[in-house]
Structure 1
Amino acid sequence: MDSTKLTLLTILRDRVAHLCAEGNITEALHAATAAVLKAEQELSSDLDSIEVFALVLEVRGDLYRQLGDAEKARDDYRQAIDQLNNRLDLAEQLGRLHAALGAVHDDLENFERAIHHWEVAISYFEKTQPPSPMMIAALSNNIAYLKKSLGDLDGAETSLLIALEIFHRELGPDDDETASVCNNLGALYHQVGHYEQAREMHLMALEARRKLYGENHPDTAQSYNNLALALSETGDPELAKDHFECALDALSHCGAEIQHELVSVSENYIQFLQQSEDHQSSKKVADRVQQTLAQWA
Structure 2
Amino acid sequence: MPENTAPATTANPAVQSALKAVEAQREAVKEFPGKAPGLVRALQTLGDAQRDAGDVPAAEASYREALEAGKDLELPTEVMANVRTSLATLLDFSGREAESLPYYEEAISNHEALGGENAEVAAQLRNNLAMTYKCMDKFALAEQHYLRSLETLENKRGRKSESVACVFNNLGSLYYAAGFPDQAKEMFEDGLQIRTEVLGERHRDVAQSLCNLATACHELKDNDAAQKHFEKSLTILESQLPQEARSYEAIGTDYVAMLEIIGEEGKAAALKKRMEKVLAAV
What TM-score, normalized to structure 2?
0.86
- Per-residue CA deviation, residues 250-285 of structure 1 (Å, 9 max, x unaligned), is 111111232222222222222332333233322332
Separation in structure 2 between the aligned mates of residue 96 and residue 182 of structure 1, nearest angstrom:
26
Q: 1:201 aligns with which of 166, 187, 210?
A: 187
Q: CA contact under 8 A between 2:18 and 2:45: conserved in structure 1?
A: no
Separation in structure 1 between the aligned mates of residue 60 and residue 270 of structure 2, nearest angstrom:
54
Separation in structure 1 between the aligned mates of residue 15 and residue 64 of structure 2, nearest angstrom:
22
Larger Cα Rg: Structure 1 or Structure 2? 1
1:198 Cα deviation after fit: 0.7
Indicate yes or no: 2:89 matched with 1:103. Answer: yes
Match of 1:7 in 2: none
* Number of corresponding residues: 271
Q: Which of structures 1 and 2 has the larger relative contact order (alpha carbons within 8 angstroms, sep 6+)?
A: 2
1:116 match: secondary structure:
helix
Indicate yes or no: 2:241 matched with 1:255. Answer: yes
* Structure 1 residues 218-237: aligned runs within 5 Å: 218-237=204-223
Indicate yes or no: 2:22 matched with 1:33. Answer: yes
Indicate yes or no: 2:177 matched with 1:191. Answer: yes
Q: 2:32 aligns with which of 37, 43, 47?
A: 43
Match of 2:202 in 1: 216
- Per-residue CA deviation, residues 58-91 of structure 1 (Å, 9 max, x unaligned), is 2222222222333333333223323333667621
Q: CA contact under 8 A between 2:19 and 2:46: conserved in structure 1?
A: no
Match of 2:160 in 1: 174
Match of 1:143 in 2: 129
Q: CA contact under 8 A between 1:224 and 1:244: conserved in structure 2?
A: yes
Rate the CA distance shift 1:86–1:164 in 2: closer, same or farther, 3 A.
farther
Between stretches 250-259 and 78-87, larger displacement belongs to 78-87
Indicate yes or no: 2:260 matched with 1:274. Answer: yes
Match of 1:127 in 2: 113
Rate the CA distance shift 1:86–1:200 in 2: closer, same or farther, 3 A.
farther
Match of 2:138 in 1: 152
Separation in structure 2 between the aligned mates of residue 40 and residue 148 of structure 1, nearest angstrom:
43
Indicate yes or no: 2:272 matched with 1:286. Answer: yes
Separation in structure 2 between the aligned mates of residue 195 and residue 229 of structure 1, nearest angstrom:
9
Rate the CA distance shift 1:277–1:57 in 2: closer, same or farther, 3 A.
closer
